[in-house]
Amino acid sequence: MKVAIPTTDKLTIFGHTGHADYFLVLTIENGKIIDKEYRNNPHSNREGHGNVPDHEPGSNHNNHSHHHEHEHSNNHMHHDENAHDEMIKSIEDCKYFIVRHVGRRCAPSLKKFNVRPVQVKGNGEILIEDVLEEVVKMPVD
């Protein structure tokens, strides 16, 4: 069985699923994690949202201010219904998706690809390692 968890820092469950940089995909057999991999989230901000990997927008380079601007339109990936399908398709081999919140645009895609969302409750950051004990006990059927 495979389980996906959205993360950006590879330590915590990212709060805004669609903007997480990665999905940690765990392969679980007989209550043990036998494999893990990080898959890029095709819907994340670092995938074509105007971000440049070596610096932050508004950062100061050689004493000059550098500002990024871009337009938001209705066909921007964040607003594109197909983008959620693309995101979930990247984890369609997973039975469960451990999340902080399921957005209204993401829920239909999860259903379409038969990936079950499991919402984790809690305030503040939730460490991935803190939920692993429960994750390995999840039903296989």
**pLDDT at residue 24 tops 90:** yes
> Could you give phi then psi for residue 29, rounded to 5 degrees?
-135, 135
Mean pLDDT confidence for 40-47: 76
**Domain 2-50+71-134 homologous superfamily, CATH:** Dinitrogenase iron-molybdenum cofactor biosynthesis domain (3.30.420.130)
Predicted TM-score (pTM) of the model is 0.75
State residue 80's pLDDT score.
62
pLDDT one-digit tens code per residue, 47-58:
443 333 333 333
Q: Are 136 and 33 in contact (CB under 8 A)?
A: yes
Per-domain residue ranges for the chain? 2-50+71-134
Q: How much is the mean pLDDT over the chain?
A: 80
Considering only CA atoms, which of 58, 49, 111 is closest in space to residue 84?
111
Q: Are 51 and 45 in contact (CB under 8 A)?
A: yes
Lowest mean pLDDT among 37-51, 66-80, 127-141: 66-80
pLDDT one-digit tens code per residue, 65-97:
333 333 333 444 445 668 889 999 999 999 999
State residue 60's pLDDT score.
38
pLDDT > 70 in the chain, percent = 74
Q: Are 121 and 141 in contact (CB under 8 A)?
A: no
DSSP tag of 12: B
